[in-house]
Structure 1
């Protein structure tokens, strides 16, 4: 009997020991799984802190936006301060303004990765697209409640009724004024119209009129026509509209007429460097498109006269500008002169 009881106690002891071992193994497995989960959560939190969880890992640390200083830099910075504040909050990053002396400097900075986005003119954008992989993404509209059509303006050919000029062909043998050699609508587009629409060439386009002069500005060209100094002139549609109130008392104002108009010309675009991450480019675009919905953004739009906010555009918007450059046989260097 004693031996039987001893054997039974031994067997029970083995069962208990075995059960304890299994429980310890189960507990170890659970602890290992919990530790792995904690490590994973810690890693995810770390990644989120680094911007990886939301696809920001390749974003720049600071968004650098370029401006051509068309006025005193202090005044320019004051006008763009609300935009900087708005973008910093929207993008959740620092935003810096990069002031350049000319478009060439902006393009080189973008090509070298020192500049992420900037404003450009229609022709300088073509060079930024070619040299720095710049992509047009947005454009401001001046009129409140405006549409995408409001981003366009026109090169117009003007004259006085008394000269009997009704078409581009009638310019032959008459004097012609351009605004400035680098003017898009006051020189380049009017000259391209003569080449494309009546079959002139770069070699003879300046010989078609009896005389070609550069007035220095759109307003000066308008006065040259009104005063009878030249028979016709190429001018910017919006530029002339802005000075009508100053010239409507001129004795020849009632004779003034537009006898030819170019295809719509897009205004200068906002351009972003194309090699940046798609998620970053898309977010920047949305920031500009939604700017009118924010207090600081709306302040910037009002101060700068962009009452219609921003509209999204792309490279195709500037096909007409490229066609004009091609017609004039202009190289990238000449486009910037």
Structure 2
């Protein structure tokens, strides 16, 4: 009787263990499949996957830094709302530092001049994505500006030839309108070369910015300077009371130059890059965005732009025999 009962008990336990084991294995397999599916949904469906914690935007001090920060406050507020993240400005001293900051991941986006953009594209995988339009209802045809040579009437400088023996200020070594195009004008129109172009004036200095070059001329520190047409127009309200302002004149102007683009680091997630681009393209339709556009005279908002627009700048650099090292030094 006890043997029969013991055998029956063992059989019953075997059936229970087998059933429980099968059920446990089934649950484990189902659970694993569910987890895998959940991971795929989170990874593939999260549009913000891989986004930075905050958007860091680099700025070059083309004018007084306090004024620059004031102008960019509305942009920060707009982008923070549009992107749903903190936005921080990152100030640097020159284009070289700006490019290095992007290459090293310290900034995610910035504005560049046409030549410095070529370097950012080559060295930091920078991608041009937008460009400001100054005319309401404007198109890409309105993005061009000029390199201008300026002086005071009292110096009697009326042409490029008259720069000979007079002092000349450039803005930044990698500035298109503040250095490279003015230098190209001297080479192409006067028959100078890269070997002797800097010996043509009596003295050559780099002021650090277009506004600084303008003040250098107004204050009599130099007799001539190469500047960006739109850059100095933007600061006229601050310098129009200068005692020498009425003597200021443009004595030579370059061919049209495409404006500097807004650039984003190309290694960032595509969804993030697309969102940032769309933020700039949509800016004119948002109240806070309009404040920034109006403050900066970008009445047409932003237009989408690609690398191909800057082929003419690349060709100019090649014509001048300028390597990336030349542009940075």
Same fold (TM over 0.5): yes
Aligned positions of 1:164-243 closer than 5 A? 170-171=161-162, 175=166, 177-180=168-171, 182=173, 184-208=176-200, 211-214=202-205, 216=207, 217-221=213-217, 234-239=226-231, 241=233, 243=236
Counterpart for residue 156 of structure 1: 148
Query: Structure 1 72/188 Cα, relative in aligned 2: closer, same or farther at 3 Å?
Result: closer
Tell me the matched-pair count: 287
Distance 1:272 1:301 in 2: 19
Distance 1:177 1:281, change over 3 A: same
TM-score w.r.t. the length of structure 1 is 0.65
Match of 2:126 in 1: 134
| CA–CA separation in structure 1 for the residues paired with 2:116 and 2:53 | 25
**TM-score, normalized by length of structure 2?**
0.66
Larger radius of gyration, structure 1 or 2? Answer: 1
Contact 1:218 1:236 in 2 (8 A): no
Deviations 1:230-288 (A, max 9, x none): 5x7644333565649568998867xx664x43222233321111123333322321121
Offset, 1:336: 3.7
Structure-1 residue corresponding to 2:109? 117
Q: Which of 79, 88, 111 pairs up with 1:97?
A: 88
Of 51, 57, 61, the residue aligned with 1:66 is 57
- RMSD across aligned C-alpha pairs, in angstroms? 4.3
Query: Is 1:298 aligned to residue 290 of structure 2?
Result: yes
Does the CA contact (< 8 Å) of 1:62 and 1:96 recur in 2? no
Moved segments of 4+, more than 6 Å = 42-46, 159-164, 247-253
SS of 2:315's equivalent in the other structure is helix
Pair 220,88 (structure 1): closer, same or farther in 2 beyond 3 Å:
closer
Instruction: Compute the displacement of 1:136 (Å).
Output: 1.1
Q: Does structure 1 residue 288 correspond to structure 2 residue 280?
A: yes
Residue 324 of structure 2, aligned match among 286, 307, 332: 332
Check conservation: 1:91, 1:283, Cα contact below 8 A: yes
The residue number in structure 2 matching 1:262 is: 254
Unaligned 5+ residue runs, structure 2? 1-25, 208-212
Moved more, 179-188 or 190-199: 179-188
Q: What SS class does the counterpart of residue 52 from structure 1 fall into?
A: helix
Q: Counterparts of 2:293 and 2:206 in 1: how far apart (Å)?
A: 33
